[in-house]
């Protein structure tokens, strides 16, 4: 269970750079009805699961554009793993993620009356990306009280920068992308791990590809854009 929770936090903190839109931000979808499908592969290149994203609500208040995104994750056999939704806000050419809404309803119900505290710093991606640019760090933390014992989990996204530009081709098309590098530091109880990550991000589309690596540089997992519609 601890491993699943940690992987869930790591997955979601990465997915916030998946998106694109034609309204406030270049890199997030804030147009109702936009949908994306991604195929997720394990270290052996085999399909592990498929994730679907869809913008289900958009509104403008107080000079900001707000969008609600539905997420569904299925295993390689098509069985539902979890569903959730979260909110994106775009203001002053920067998009931020409401980290507290990342936790799925199923997870919260599973812990019942347990004491859960969530904290963190929003993930930001500005419109004016350029090669060599440094981006603000982000994190998500959970503290769960169980029978008088607290279980702490944290995922820090650090050393974020725009590494280069590169063209990527998938079944969804060919895209010119910014390559964003970061290091995801996962900490749970006494276990500490660091996973370097690269995200290929295209204007008007969003995330086209993502790779997470081991310390030796080998690919540990990857995600590829399989379909996009609006």
Report domain extents, the chain.
Answer: 2-229
Residue 37: the pLDDT is 94
Q: pLDDT (tens digit, 9 = 90+) per residue, 1-40? A: 444 454 455 555 555 554 444 456 677 667 888 899 999 9
Reply yes or no on whether the pLDDT at 69 is more than 60: yes
Q: Is there a contact between 86 and 100 (Cβ–Cβ < 8 Å)?
A: no
How does strand 124-126 pair with strand 115-121?
unpaired
Residue range 2-229 in CATH 2.130.10.10: no
Q: Residue 153 and residue 2: Cα distance in Å, rounded?
A: 9
Q: pLDDT (tens digit, 9 = 90+) per residue, 85-102? A: 878 888 888 877 766 544
Residue 130: the pLDDT is 93
Which structure tokens are listed for 50? 């498929």
pLDDT-derived band at 174, boundaries 50, 70, 90: very high
Reply yes or no on whether the pLDDT at 108 is more than 70: no
Reply yes or no on whether the pLDDT at 161 is more than 90: yes
Reply yes or no on whether the pLDDT at 176 is more than 90: yes
Greater confidence (168 vs 157) lies with: 168
Q: Which residues contact 90 (CB under 8 A, 6 or more apart)?
A: 21, 23, 24, 25, 28, 30, 64, 65, 66, 67, 96
Residue 22: the pLDDT is 42
pLDDT-derived band at 76, boundaries 50, 70, 90: confident
- Of 64, 41, 14, 23, nearest to 183 by C-alpha is 14
Reply yes or no on whether the pLDDT at 190 is more than 80: no
Q: Which residues contact 21 (CB under 8 A, 6 or more apart)?
A: 27, 28, 29, 30, 31, 34, 55, 67, 90, 206
Q: Exposed (0-12), middle (13-18) or buried (19+): which is 79, by Cβ within 10 Å?
A: exposed
Residue 21: the pLDDT is 43
**Cα atoms found within 13 Å of the Cα of residue 27, Cβ hemisphere only:** 26
Reply yes or no on whether the pLDDT at 162 is more than 70: yes
**Mean pLDDT in residue range 131-136:** 94
φ and ψ at residue 147, rounded to 5 degrees? 50, 45
The pLDDT > 70 percentage for the chain reads 79
């Amino acid at each position: 269970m601890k491993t699943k929770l940690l992987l869930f936090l790591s997955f979601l903190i990465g997915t916030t750079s998946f998106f694109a839109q034609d309204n406030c931000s270049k890199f997030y979808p804030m147009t109702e009805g936009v949908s994306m499908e991604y195929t997720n592969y394990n270290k052996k290149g085999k399909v592990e699961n498929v994730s679907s994203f869809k913008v289900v609500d958009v509104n403008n208040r107080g000079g900001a554009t707000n969008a609600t995104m539905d997420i569904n994750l299925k295993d390689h056999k098509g069985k539902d793993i979890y569903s959730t939704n979260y909110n994106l806000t775009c203001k002053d050419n920067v998009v931020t993620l409401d980290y507290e809404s990342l936790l799925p309803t199923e997870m919260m119900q599973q812990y019942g009356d347990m004491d859960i505290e969530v904290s963190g710093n929003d993930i930001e991606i500005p419109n004016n990306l350029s090669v060599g640019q440094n981006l603000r760090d982000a994190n998500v933390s959970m503290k769960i009280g169980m029978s008088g014992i607290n279980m702490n989990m944290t995922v820090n996204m650090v050393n974020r920068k725009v590494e280069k530009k590169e063209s990527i081709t998938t079944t969804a098309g060919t895209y010119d992308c910014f390559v964003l590098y970061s290091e995801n530091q996962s900490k749970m109880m006494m276990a500490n791990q660091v996973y370097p990550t690269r995200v290929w991000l295209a204007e008007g589309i969003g995330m086209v590809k993502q790779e997470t690596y081991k310390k030796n540089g080998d690919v540990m997992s990857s995600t590829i854009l399989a379909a996009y519609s609006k």
